[in-house]
């Protein structure tokens, strides 16, 4: 697995800056570019930031929509290993921030001892997280409703995106978010997460007891339909068994788009405050 030219350039910049690095990991139906406002905020506060893509991700939303097959078949382990390759090229151990399936990947990498601290946001569930709320099933149905989607890329419709991601914002903002950020997503991670508690060898597993995990803050939006409170709370209960600091913060009136929408700064400031407390 090889890193892209952009990712290698970001590694060189971070290593040359001598600033503490922060790595942002996106989830399904997004690209690395969705983190740009967060990167600007963290850089203004003295961090070097990197935003790796998933393997073979295109760089722009337009290209992603034109070439959906680039996303097909990508699984959780591929994404985690790709991100780990970038992390190991850094001279300093980074803070990891991830959203949705990126939040699951961040928890996996923290469990491998690759994070100075970590902030999973609206994280997808992992093996051992048992709640399966109806809203999460409905949000995933555009993919899970067709077994063939395991090997395909799926683009959410505007209505599906509104329900799953943008339910806590206005219709106008939901439309803007869809046009600005939404891209096809691999179906495979959703199938992996859905069967995680039935498959002992699942790729959707997290070592929550790793002695090198580091401090962790789990953030959830209280109106999140993809990763609702029941999933976030169950993830926190498993993570808090770790000897390292584990905190949980629920953000009021926020859905799954909480890292993208007009209230993103509230979430980013919460993450930044935690990172500053755990240098």
Total domains in the chain come to: 1
Model confidence at 277, in pLDDT bands (50, 70, 90)? Answer: very high
pLDDT on residue 1 = 56
Model confidence at 162, in pLDDT bands (50, 70, 90)? Answer: very high
Residue 271: give its domain's CATH number.
3.40.50.1820
pLDDT in tens, 187-232: 999 999 999 999 999 999 999 999 999 999 999 999 999 999 999 9
Q: What is the mean pLDDT of residues 176-184?
A: 98
Structural domain of residue 49, as residue ranges? 5-277
- Statement: residue 132 has pLDDT above 90: no
Q: Distance between CA atoms of 56 and 70, rounded to whole angstroms?
A: 6
Which residue from 265, 256, 230 is spatially nearest to 169, judged by alpha carbons? Answer: 256
Model confidence at 125, in pLDDT bands (50, 70, 90)? Answer: very high
Single pTM value for the model: 0.97
Q: What is the mean pLDDT of residues 58-64?
A: 96
Put residue 29 in one of left, alpha, beta given phi > 0 → left and psi -120 to 50 → alpha.
left
pLDDT in tens, 141-151: 999 999 999 99
Q: What is the three-state SS of 149-168?
A: HHHCEECCCHHHHHHHCCCC
Helix (H) or strand (E) holding 170: none
Which residue from 96, 98, 104 is spatially nearest to 235, judged by alpha carbons? Answer: 104
**How does the average pLDDT of the chain come out, rounded?**
97
Query: Cα 195 to the chain's mean position, in Å?
Result: 19
pLDDT on residue 164 = 97
């Amino acid at each position: 697995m090889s890193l892209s030219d952009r990712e290698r350039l970001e590694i060189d910049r971070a290593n040359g800056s001598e600033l503490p690095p922060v790595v942002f990991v996106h989830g399904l139906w997004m690209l690395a570019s969705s983190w740009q406002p967060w990167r600007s905020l963290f850089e203004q506060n003295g961090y070097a930031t990197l935003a790796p893509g998933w393997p073979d991700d295109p760089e722009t939303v337009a290209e992603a929509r034109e070439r959906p097959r680039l996303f097909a078949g990508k699984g959780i382990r591929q994404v985690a290993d790709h991100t780990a390759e970038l992390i190991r090229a850094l001279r300093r151990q980074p803070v990891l921030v991830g959203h949705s399936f990126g939040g699951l990947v961040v928890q996996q990498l923290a469990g491998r001892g690759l994070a100075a601290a970590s902030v999973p946001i609206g994280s997808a569930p992992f093996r051992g997280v048992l709640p399966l709320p109806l809203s999460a099933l409905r949000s995933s149905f555009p993919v899970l409703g067709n077994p063939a989607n395991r090997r395909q890329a799926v683009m959410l419709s505007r209505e599906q995106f509104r329900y799953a991601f943008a339910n806590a914002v206005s219709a106008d903002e939901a439309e803007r978010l869809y046009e600005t950020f939404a891209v096809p997503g691999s179906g495979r991670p959703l199938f992996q997460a859905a069967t995680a508690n039935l498959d002992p060898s699942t790729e959707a597993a997290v070592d929550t007891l790793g002695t090198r995990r580091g401090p962790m803050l789990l953030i959830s939006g209280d109106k999140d339909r993809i990763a609702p409170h029941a999933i976030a709370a169950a993830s926190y209960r498993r993570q808090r068994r770790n000897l390292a600091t584990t905190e949980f913060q629920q953000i009021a009136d926020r859905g799954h788009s909480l890292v993208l929408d007009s209230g993103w700064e509230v979430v980013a400031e919460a993450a930044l405050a935690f990172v500053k407390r755990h240098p």
